[in-house]
Amino acid sequence: MRRSALTAVLAAAALVTPLAGAQAAVPTTTATASSGQAGALSDGAPGAGQLGAEWSASSGDAAPWVQLTFSGARRVASVQVFGSTADAFDPAQSTAAALYGTLRFSDGSTVSVPGIAAGAGMPTTVAFTPRSTTWVRLEVRRQIGTAPVALRELTAYDAGATPPQWAAPAGSPTYSAVPPRADCATTTTTSAVAPPLTGRLSLACPTPGSGVDAAATVVVNAPAGSELTAWLSVPSSSALDLPLRRAATATADASGRAVLTADVRRLPQGPFAVKITGTTTAGADLDPLYAQLFRAGGSPASTPSAPAGSSPPGGMTLQYADDFDAPLSISESGWGTRYAAVKPEPWGGSQFGDALFADPAWGAGTLATLPGGYLQVRAQPIGVLAPKQTWGQAHAAGILSSQRWGGSGFSAQHGYFEARMLGAPGPGSWPAFWMLNSSSGTGRADGTAAEVDAVELYGHDTGAACHTTHSWGPSKGGQKACQGYPLDWAAEWHTYGVRVLDGSAEFYIDGRKVASLGELSHTDEPFFFMLDLATGGGWPVDLAATGQTTDLYVDWVRVYT
């Protein structure tokens, strides 16, 4: 039997299974509350970007709650809640969201709501394993003591329906970039991206991330007489067991220069990498060099309706998707934008690794979306941001988090998190796609936390990937699996996924399960995701071969429950 869904424009959209020979009955929704005008909770149309009136609890309501009651059982998979219009701020806890709460269902289950922001217009969306319920109640609590207990909308979505994305308020910051055009015609030793390095390959031209059309020309510094080969990943090379394709060869001249030109017309629009290998006249293999470029022509590999490489487990509902086809909505705290640009902590945001995570407002350009729908996360010399250093970092880099300071944003309990990425090459690069339990970034954190690393990539070994569970606190725990694969994540696009289970996690590359790890705490909570390009991670950083610059590219990110 085929399931049908009401449009997401309707609040509390419902899915029902039609009976054979009968008209399908659609459960109706009634809003109630511990006090106040409950009808205001479901009088808008979030899918159309419209919110109705605002519900407010009475001043004497010591334990406020709001509830959606359905005329028949619904299989609910997510809830979206919008905070009050009036903003709230407490200098003593300046990063707190106004409210938080707990979802309770008629089947007796509960899910925490980490934070509900006020004033900025952006919702909190919490997804979870679908459950059959006749009502869902949100028990609302203050995270800021003076915050008004008020909500603009509460909406429940069924399995099979995806909560709508909400546009950031007008005037909020966004970031996009157009790759510069590659031009190697006048490259000299003094204008090279990187200088010649003894016994190594280095990139003379073009600058990392440059745009090309039908052909990619790369100028390389190499020991004189070295035989070089350029390799490309064609679109079919997104699987683990398919090799790179030889694209060009060249011999370094007496001055130590080699020019390689590869036909890239078979590549889709978007980022790609030319992997360059070489052998010296003495027969010694040279460490590979990666020239990261952008194919300006062609069609994007992915569309929102057909994301390349996506392979969620069967029966799961898409709860969150970003194809990075619009300017990136991000700020340091995430307030009023889609993402935060630091790792959320109870006190705000934190730094880690050997690179400074730059606030996008500083203008460093370490986070941006590109034509065709791609996210670029860059590590580059610290430059003018040196005064922002917290411990002498040599590079600036970027991170984005789906949870904002204070706990609002997107999170999913027992979700499958998936992203398609082209990794950042270079010894010491440390790109990652990872998750934390939602309470860890709020003022209610109890000193313990749970972390799941869907993938950590270390630039000194582009043929290996690490997958990890961490349980942080007085009793530390967790497991780690680092292993080699028949892939080169710096030259090939791959899809990395993780499914958070009860006390454990399953890890996937290109739809294949590659590891199962336990010792994971806090799995009763929702988890939020982060994408970042850090440096270090316990390994020496040496990005000299590409002018101290390297990029992580992300095609899309998706979350299912």
**pLDDT, tens digit, 9 for 90 and up, residues 339-387:** 999 999 998 888 999 999 999 999 999 999 999 999 999 999 999 999 9
Q: Is the pLDDT of residue 16 over 90?
A: no
Q: Is the pLDDT of residue 12 over 50?
A: no
| Selected residue with higher pLDDT from 426 and 96 | 426
**Does the domain made of 4-158 have the CATH classification 1.10.8.80?**
no
Q: How far apart are the first and last CA of the chain?
A: 22
Look over the chain and give the mean of its residue pLDDT values, rounded to a whole number: 92
Q: What are the backbone dihedrals phi and psi of residue 274, each rounded to the nearest 5 degrees, phi first?
A: -95, 115
> Taking residues 16-45, what's their average pLDDT?
76
Structure tokens at 223: 């020991």
> Taking residues 110-117, what's their average pLDDT?
96
What are the residue boundaries of the structural domains of the chain, listed by start? 4-158, 202-295, 318-558
At 98-109, the pLDDT tens digits run: 999 999 999 999
High-pLDDT (> 70) share of the chain, %:
93
At 483-520, the pLDDT tens digits run: 999 999 999 999 999 999 999 999 999 999 999 999 99
List the one residue out of 378, 379, 337, 340 whose CA is nearest residue 359: 340
Identify the pLDDT of residue 239.
53
Q: Say if CB 336 and CB 169 are below 8 A apart.
A: yes
Q: Is the pLDDT of residue 20 over 80?
A: no
CATH for 318-558, among 3.20.20.140, 1.20.140.10, 2.60.120.200, 1.10.3860.10?
2.60.120.200
CATH architecture assignment, domain 202-295: Sandwich (2.60)
Domain 4-158 matches domain 202-295 at the CATH topology level: no
* Residue the block writes with tokens 């009808």: 39
Q: Say if CB 146 and CB 473 are below 8 A apart.
A: no
Identify the pLDDT of residue 271.
98
Which amino acid would we find at residue 539? W
Q: How many Å apart are CA 96 and CA 144, to the nearest integer?
A: 7
> Taking residues 149-154, what's their average pLDDT?
96
Q: Say if CB 78 and CB 155 are below 8 A apart.
A: no
Identify the pLDDT of residue 94.
84
Identify the pLDDT of residue 178.
97
Q: How many Å apart are CA 175 and CA 359, to the nearest integer?
A: 12
Identify the pLDDT of residue 24.
55
> Taking residues 190-199, what's their average pLDDT?
92
Identify the pLDDT of residue 121.
75
* Residue 368 Cα to chain centre, angstroms: 13
Q: How many Å apart are CA 421 and CA 150, to the nearest integer?
A: 40
Task: Tell whether omega for the bond before 206 is within 30 degrees of 0, i.e. cis.
Answer: yes
* Residue the block writes with tokens 């705490």: 521
> Taking residues 50-73, what's their average pLDDT?
95
* pLDDT confidence tier of residue 187, bands split at 50, 70 and 90: low
Identify the pLDDT of residue 2.
32
List the one residue out of 150, 171, 218 whose CA is nearest residue 545: 218
Structure tokens at 425: 């090459």
Q: Output the pTM of the full model.
A: 0.93
At 222-272, the pLDDT tens digits run: 999 999 999 999 876 445 555 799 999 999 999 999 999 999 999 999 999
Q: Is the pLDDT of residue 87 over 90?
A: no
* Residue the block writes with tokens 């398919």: 242
Q: Is the pLDDT of residue 18 over 50?
A: no
> Taking residues 276-297, what's their average pLDDT?
97
Identify the pLDDT of residue 50.
87
Phi-psi region of 171 (alpha: psi -120 to 50; beta: other; left: phi over 0): left
List the one residue out of 442, 416, 469 whose CA is nearest residue 128: 416
> Taking residues 440-455, what's their average pLDDT?
92
| Selected residue with higher pLDDT from 312 and 95 | 312
Q: Is the pLDDT of residue 11 over 50?
A: no
* pLDDT confidence tier of residue 22, bands split at 50, 70 and 90: very low
Structure tokens at 252: 């370094």
C-alpha distances in angstroms, 518 versus 85, 137, 140, 439, 480? 42, 32, 33, 20, 9
